[in-house]
A = this chain, B = another copy of it.
Amino acid sequence: MHILIIGAGGMIGRKLAATLGRSGSLGGDTITRMTLVDVTPPPVPADVFVPAEALAADISESGAAEALAARRADVIFHLAAIVSGEAERNFDLGYKVNLDGTRLLLEAIRREGSRQAYVPRFVFSSSIAVYGSPFPDPIPDDYVLAPLTSYGVQKAISELLLADYSRRGFIDGVGIRLPTIVIRPGAPNAAASGFFSGILREPLAGQRAVLPVEETVKHWLASPRSAIKFLIHAATLDTAALGVRRTLTMPGVAATVADQIAALRRAAGPEAAELIDRRRDEVIEGIVAGWPKSFTPERATQLGFVAETTVDELIEVYLAEDAPGASG
């Protein structure tokens, strides 16, 4: 079995490549080969027994998608994207990569399949950013996608293309709407969602962190480990049950900031919570106000997708797998 990961240089892509490379199999099939692609050559994970090739390619550039489709991978993970903030700042770049890139990839697969039968499993990482306020809390599986960002629009359009290309038999597509990933490892970043990880990660390391919103803010969270499990389950589940609705909202933890801080106290003591500086930021508050708070992800749950259920578990996963010096 040949696995192609597009966007293999990102946090999730690297972890997925390492997990698959170490396990050596996917859904009971032996992985014989991995192709890891990103705009700059992604790292080949250490300590893996599967031959892995790292390639630099931009799927939005002419010919790149065709070259990848010609490799005829059995499973394609499409994780590549311009992130939300950048897609909002750079309208053309966001559409070029997040919409045209995805469409070029689907078209290249379709054309490869018209040359010689080829219908790969195609796992697409979408986002809960396809939802925009006003919405109910929790949001049900059949709620309208009304994104408030160009990134969300590009993901929603990609979901529609995924469904149509699957219905037509050109791919065997599964889309998964990832919750906000907490705790992201590494340094603080400038994303508006960064504080959801920062208010746990920094205090756990004895560092100060800034909380820019009120403690009542609620959001939908899952660990990096769950994200990898979602992707792997999406690559192996029986798609007959999906019908034309090929993208699923993933399960997660609906937690307020207060829930997060309470879990931090339980994990690292009251002094850890004292490291959080409350500095409200109206811009971030405005952005976060439009984000989903929670979901009833019934379809995904029925299909066997599982996530954490408490912030305590999110912290445990971080300390076990993703914190500096963890076993990984």
Contact = CB atoms under 8 A, between A and B. Distances in A.
Interface of A: 91, 132, 135, 141-148, 150, 153, 156-157, 160-161, 163-164, 167-168, 244-245
Contacts of A147: 160, 163-164, 244
Given A144-B143, A144-B145, A146-B244, A160 B157 contact: yes
Contacts of A160: 145, 147, 153, 156-157, 160
A91 B168 contact: yes
Which 4 A-B pairs rank lowest in CB-CB distance, beginning with the nearest? A153-B164, A142-B144, A153-B160, A157-B157
A153 B161 contact: yes
Contacts of A91: 168
Contacts of A164: 147, 150, 153
A173 to B, nearest CB: 13
A168 B163 CA distance: 27
Nearest to A130: B160
Q: How many copies does the complex hold?
A: 2
A80 to B, nearest CB: 20
30 contacts: A91-B168, A132-B244, A135-B142, A141-B144, A142-B143, A142-B144, A143-B143, A143-B144, A144-B144, A144-B145, A144-B245, A145-B145, A145-B160, A146-B163, A146-B244, A147-B160, A147-B163, A147-B164, A147-B244, A148-B244, A150-B164, A150-B168, A153-B160, A153-B161, A153-B163, A153-B164, A156-B160, A157-B157, A157-B161, A160-B160
A65 to B, nearest CB: 16
Contacts of A161: 153, 157
Contacts of A148: 167, 244
A233 B141 CA distance: 33
A282 to B, nearest CB: 20
A207 B146 CA distance: 46
Contacts of A167: 148
Contacts of A244: 132, 146-148
